[in-house]
Amino acid sequence: MAETQNFPVWHGTTILTVRKGGRVVVAGDGQVSLGQTVIKSNARKVRSLGTGDVIGGFAGATADAFTLFERLEAKLEKYPGQLTRACVDLAKDWRTDRYLRRLEAMMLVADATTTLVLTGTGDVLEPERDVMGIGSGGNYALAAARALLDTDMPAEQIARKAMAIAAEICVYTNGNLVVESLQSTR
């Protein structure tokens, strides 16, 4: 919508989650771009949520993502220990609430047992093969992580290597990573 009005568009990020060997890792790059200009190279797009038992990362408009993080934290308070239920409830609000429908962001969230992708269209998806990527470099990071999943590398090393590969390919992704991890039961 903004591009048709000749306004520059905030672009890109890469968020990746890898679940392997008793760990779940969410990694995100730090680049924020406006058109062809890097506005910030060390943004923090990954953080722990709630009581620290959930980690999440976002791709999209920063203010929108923080609004969604706040809403998700409220849902996690309402449904403690029930990440899927909290995310479904948030997605329902996101899809039906007039204000939330305008938010432009995607989220990857994970706890000890579950990894989910949330979108503004009401999607709450669990990834296949314990890896998922979102954002402008998400598919590059996802492909690299899938290729590395069958190696002896632990989850965090896979995430870091896959993110480095994405940063080499996607101009909206850089190597300034924020990585958060949790013990996983899978």
Active-site positions read 13
CA–CA dist 16, 137 (Å, integer): 9
Residues in the chain: 186
Q: Among 128, 140, 123, 127, which Cα is nearest to 12's?
A: 140
Is residue 57 a contact partner of residue 26, using CB atoms and an 8 Å limit?
Answer: yes
Is residue 45 a contact partner of residue 65, using CB atoms and an 8 Å limit?
Answer: yes
CA–CA dist 162, 27 (Å, integer): 10
Give CA separation, 39 vs 36, 49, 137, in Å.
9, 26, 17
Q: How many CB atoms lie within 10 A of CB 119?
A: 16
Give CA separation, 77 vs 41, 73, 137, in Å.
32, 6, 32
